[in-house]
Amino acid sequence: MGWVYLFQLDEYEASQLWRTTRRRLVARWPWHLALLAGGVALGVASVAVGPRLRVLPLLLACLLPAVLFRPFATRASLRWTGRARRLAVISGGLVLAALWMAFGTGPAGAVLVGLVDLLVVAALCTAAAATQPWERHRRHRFMAGAAARLAASRPLVVGIAGSYGKTTTKVLLAQLLDRPDEPCFATPASYNTTLGVCRAINEGLLPQHRRAVVEMGAYRRGEIAEICSFTHPEVGVVTAIGPMHLERFGTRQRIAAADAELLAALPSHGFAVLPSGIAERDTLVRGLRARLVSVGTPQDRWWVEAEQLLPTGTSFRLRGSAGEDVRFEVPVFGRHLVADLLCALAVAAELGRPLADLAARAATLEGAPHRLQVSHSSGVTIIDDAYNSNPEGAAEALRLLAALPGQRRVLVTPGYIELGSEQERSMRDLGRRAAAVCSHVILVGARHSAPVARGLAEAGYPAGQVTVVADLQSVQRLLPEVAGAGSVVLFENDLPDQYLEGT
Q: Has residue 135 been placed in a domain? A: no
Do both 197 and 336 map to the same domain? yes
Pairing of strands 235-238, 156-161: parallel
Structural domains counted in the chain: 3
Looking at residue 196, its amino acid is G
Q: Has residue 8 been placed in a domain? A: yes
> In the 8-state DSSP scheme, what is residue 316?
E
Q: How many CA atoms lie within 13 A of 144 on its CB side?
A: 6
- Are 113 and 64 spatial neighbours (Cβ–Cβ below 8 Å)? yes
Q: Has residue 144 been placed in a domain? A: no
- Are 492 and 386 spatial neighbours (Cβ–Cβ below 8 Å)? yes
Q: What is the pLDDT of residue 301?
A: 97
Above 70 in pLDDT, residue 110?
Answer: no
The residue from 80, 115, 130 where one domain ends is: 130
Do both 182 and 217 map to the same domain? yes
Cα distance between residue 423 and residue 270, in whole Å: 37
Do both 350 and 442 map to the same domain? no
Residues 6+ apart with CB under 8 A from 139: 194, 195
Burial of 473-499, coded b for 16+ CB within 10 Å and e otherwise, reads eebeebbeebbeeebbbbbbbbbbbbb
List the CATH number of the domain containing 315. 3.40.1190.10
Q: Has residue 145 been placed in a domain? A: no
Do both 272 and 408 map to the same domain? no
pLDDT tens for each residue of 302-321: 999 999 998 889 999 999 99
Do both 289 and 190 map to the same domain? yes
Strand locations in 283-439, DSSP E?
291-295, 302-310, 313-320, 325-330, 373-377, 380-385, 408-413
Above 70 in pLDDT, residue 270?
Answer: yes
- pLDDT-based confidence at residue 223 (cuts at 50, 70, 90): very high
Q: What is the pLDDT of residue 216?
A: 96
Q: What is the pLDDT of residue 362?
A: 95
Q: Has residue 148 been placed in a domain? A: no
Q: Has residue 385 been placed in a domain? A: yes
pLDDT tens for each residue of 428-467: 999 999 999 999 999 998 888 999 999 999 999 999 999 9
Helix axes 116-130, 82-104, angle to 10 degrees: 130
- Are 279 and 252 spatial neighbours (Cβ–Cβ below 8 Å)? yes
Q: What is the pLDDT of residue 329?
A: 96
Do both 300 and 395 map to the same domain? no
Segment 247-255 mean pLDDT: 85
Measured between alpha carbons, how far is residue 12 from residues 85, 87, 89, 126 in Å? Answer: 13, 10, 15, 12
The residue from 98, 130, 162 where one domain ends is: 130
Cα distance between residue 192 and residue 224, in whole Å: 9
Do both 458 and 311 map to the same domain? no
- pLDDT-based confidence at residue 272 (cuts at 50, 70, 90): very high
The residue with greater pLDDT, 387 or 128, is: 128
pLDDT tens for each residue of 44-70: 777 677 676 767 776 776 666 666 665
Do both 15 and 35 map to the same domain? yes
Do both 339 and 269 map to the same domain? yes
Q: What is the pLDDT of residue 281?
A: 94
**What's CA 295's distance to the chain center, in Å?**
25
> Residue 400 is part of which domain span?
373-499
Considering the entire predicted model, what is its pTM? 0.85
Above 90 in pLDDT, residue 98?
Answer: no
Q: Has residue 190 been placed in a domain? A: yes
Own/partner contacts of 185-190, CB < 8 Å, gap of 24 or more, are 185/155, 185/209, 185/211, 185/212, 185/213, 186/212, 186/213, 186/214, 186/215, 187/213, 187/214, 187/215, 190/215, 190/217
Q: Has residue 138 been placed in a domain? A: no
The residue with greater pLDDT, 455 or 13, is: 455
List the CATH number of the domain containing 417. 3.90.190.20
Q: How many CA atoms lie within 13 A of 2 on its CB side?
A: 19
Other CB atoms within a 10 A radius of the CB of residue 158 amount to 29
Do both 266 and 410 map to the same domain? no
Cα distance between residue 11 and residue 92, in whole Å: 19
Do both 226 and 341 map to the same domain? yes
Do both 394 and 352 map to the same domain? no
The residue from 64, 98, 130 where one domain ends is: 130
> In the 8-state DSSP scheme, what is residue 368?
P
